[in-house]
Amino acid sequence: MFSMIQRFHKRFLAKGLGEKIPLRERNSTLHEFSKTSPLPKEAVPEQLLPKGPSQWSLKQLVRRGQWVGALLGAVGLLVAAAFCWQWHHYRRFQEVRPGVLYRMGLPSQWGFRQIVRQYHIRTVVCLHEAAEPRLRAGWFWDWGEPSGPLESQVAQQLGVRFLHWPLPQEGPWPWPKPEYLDQFFRLMDDPENWPVLIHCWAGKHRTGTLVALFRLEYEGWSVSEALKEMYSFDFKMPFALQELNLRTYVRRPRPTASQWQTLQEAISPWLSQAPSDYEQFIRILRAEMGKPPVAAQLEEYLRLGKPFGVCLADWLLQDSDHSWLPVALEQAEKILFSAFQNSIPQDEAAIQQLATAAGLLADYGSAQTRSRLARLVSHQMQGSEITAPYRALVNGLSNRYRLSRLPYLKLLLEDQRLRPEPEANGTRYADTAVARIAAIVQEDFIGRRGHASRQDWDQAIQRAKQWFAEHPQATVFP
């Protein structure tokens, strides 16, 4: 112990004589002395105490912790501010197909202008139920009802076409009204309207329904893929009527390679330009079928019963004012009624023609032809086996949401057989009829949100039947 004290005094006495002692050596000596010396630490000058794990490092740690906490708090505030800013201006914005279709919730005035300019939007479709929808104001929030300018006025300033299809939360919401469905497909059929921006209030339900229809019709997605994407936008609980309408949606027919070649050889030479694909072919033909040479060639194609003729007529028909319509209906009758009298090929092309023929006759056929079609449906419902022609018949009668389909859908309310398609998810033909009728007449026969049980569907069927009892004119053929 004495030697330890001597060494301590000797080393630190040297400091007074001008000798420099390495800092590391001095600290080790002081640390060793502090552990062995019986003297109280107060006897050693504070500046000579060893710099080990002491209160100095604790103070530094606390001080550093305060800085780290402040830094994390600032980062958190910045992240929250960025989220609020993005949510306010670009709520649930997404590219559906670049250059064609975009979706979102109600944007702010600034966000609306930025999106229109950045993505060169030509058409805006607003599904919000407000009579005169307004954009959000401010930079971070706009509580309550939007207080910004009228969306139609901002769109006009930007040179954008504005379409307002209000869908209030009633009836089979969020399924669109029948007239909006027709307008939507006409809108997306024409590239002159692209890019299109669709939005509602939150960008989930009404917008999600139209985007799902776009995926099914124009991109050929499977039902499971379209529903998965739709539900990923915070959709939460399903709407039974809306989901079943999507599950049983019937896409418009497309020609096979051989059918497309036949169409090109017969009709393309009469057009002003050679189409590169079927979609462009339809656009050119719609614009030019009023010309006598084109109309005559189209009528001749239908009269000869060439491949895909009835399907082509269905693509072109937007009203009954066409010189070639009687010829198309004549061919549709031959296709439809012969299918149930004679054996027909069960290939996809023949099934497409059969389904399209049923839809054409339901919409444009004479009262006698429509009555005959209704008797055919009733007769086919009696069998225990679901044949391919019957499946095509049902698809053709349920592929449009029009008042002319109601008499046939009323008949389908009695068909309790399960649909064989996997996409139908174990539902019956009667359930499909309920979903279609609800969409056409804008009535919610289910009455609640969430997955529907068999009992729920049975009650919905009874409500639909009651609706027909209260509206007997709906089943009268014109």
CATH number at residue 122: 3.90.190.10
**Listed residue (2, 152, 373) closest to 10, CA to CA:** 2
Residues 6+ apart with CB under 8 A from 212: 226, 227, 229, 230, 246
Q: Does 31 have pLDDT greater than 80?
A: no
Tell me, yes or no, whether 82 lies in a domain.
no
Tell me, yes or no, whether 295 lies in a domain.
no
**Stretch 109-135: mean pLDDT:** 95
Secondary element (H or E) of residue 442: none
Of the listed ranges 37-51, 190-204, 255-269, 452-466, the least confidently predicted one is: 37-51
Q: CB–CB of 30/49 below 8 Å?
A: yes
* Mean confidence (pLDDT) of the chain: 86
Amino acid at 391: R
Q: d(Cα 102, Cα 214) in Å, to the nearest integer?
A: 11
Residue 421's alpha-carbon distances to 11, 88, 290, in angstroms, are: 96, 42, 40
Tell me, yes or no, whether 421 lies in a domain.
no
**Stretch 4-8: mean pLDDT:** 48
204 & 96 share domain: yes
Q: d(Cα 230, Cα 354) in Å, to the nearest integer?
A: 31
Tell me, yes or no, whether 21 lies in a domain.
yes
Secondary element (H or E) of residue 96: strand 94-97
Indicate the pLDDT class of residue 46, thresholds 50, 70 and 90: low
95 & 172 share domain: yes
* pLDDT number for residue 8: 45
124 & 33 share domain: no
Residue 103's alpha-carbon distances to 98, 168, 184, 287, in angstroms, are: 11, 19, 14, 29
The structure tokens listed for 181 are 């469905």
Paired with 162 in beta bridges are: 124
The structure tokens listed for 316 are 């072109």
Indicate the pLDDT class of residue 79, thresholds 50, 70 and 90: low
Tell me, yes or no, whether 368 lies in a domain.
no
Tell me, yes or no, whether 175 lies in a domain.
yes
**Stretch 158-164: mean pLDDT:** 98
- The predicted-structure confidence for 275-297, as pLDDT tens digits, reads as follows 999 999 999 999 999 999 999 99
Indicate the pLDDT class of residue 41, thresholds 50, 70 and 90: very low
User: What is the DSSP secondary structure assignment for residue 472, as one 8-state letter?
Assistant: G
Q: Does 73 have pLDDT greater than 80?
A: no
110 & 210 share domain: yes
User: What is the DSSP secondary structure assignment for residue 125, as one 8-state letter?
Assistant: E
* pLDDT number for residue 142: 66
Helical pair 278-288 and 309-316, crossing angle rounded to 10 deg: 60
- Specify the residue for token string 């006495």: 13
118 & 226 share domain: yes
**Stretch 259-277: mean pLDDT:** 95
98 & 228 share domain: yes
Amino acid at 214: F
Tell me, yes or no, whether 168 lies in a domain.
yes
Percentage of the chain modeled with pLDDT above 70: 79
**Stretch 336-346: mean pLDDT:** 76
Q: Select the more confidently predicted residue: 124 or 34.
A: 124
Q: Does 63 have pLDDT greater than 80?
A: no
34 & 127 share domain: no
**Listed residue (343, 406, 400) closest to 370, CA to CA:** 406
142 & 16 share domain: no
Of the listed ranges 289-298, 336-345, 450-459, the least confidently predicted one is: 336-345
Q: d(Cα 234, Cα 232) in Å, to the nearest integer?
A: 6
Secondary element (H or E) of residue 4: helix 2-16
Amino acid at 278: Y
Indicate the pLDDT class of residue 1, thresholds 50, 70 and 90: very low
Pairing of β 101-104 and β 94-97: antiparallel
Tell me, yes or no, whether 478 lies in a domain.
no
Q: d(Cα 279, Cα 276) in Å, to the nearest integer?
A: 8
231 & 101 share domain: yes
Residue 217's alpha-carbon distances to 84, 185, 240, 391, in angstroms, are: 35, 9, 21, 19
User: What is the DSSP secondary structure assignment for residue 239, as one 8-state letter?
Assistant: B
Helical pair 109-119 and 55-89, crossing angle rounded to 10 deg: 70
**442 backbone φψ class: left, alpha, beta (φ>0; ψ -120 to 50):** left
* pLDDT number for residue 28: 53
Q: Does 417 have pLDDT greater than 70?
A: yes
218 & 116 share domain: yes
224 & 161 share domain: yes
- Tell me the HSE value of 299 on the side-chain side, using a 13 A CA sphere: 14
Q: Select the more confidently predicted residue: 70 or 11.
A: 70
Q: d(Cα 353, Cα 368) in Å, to the nearest integer?
A: 21
216 & 122 share domain: yes
Of the listed ranges 10-24, 61-75, 225-239, 358-372, the least confidently predicted one is: 10-24
Of the listed ranges 13-17, 103-107, 151-155, 246-250, the least confidently predicted one is: 13-17
| Domain hosting residue 93, numbered range | 88-236
Helix segments in 190-251, DSSP class H: 206-218, 223-231, 240-247
Indicate the pLDDT class of residue 343, thresholds 50, 70 and 90: low
Write down which residue in 183, 204, 236 finishes a domain.
236
Counting the structural domains of the chain, the total is 2
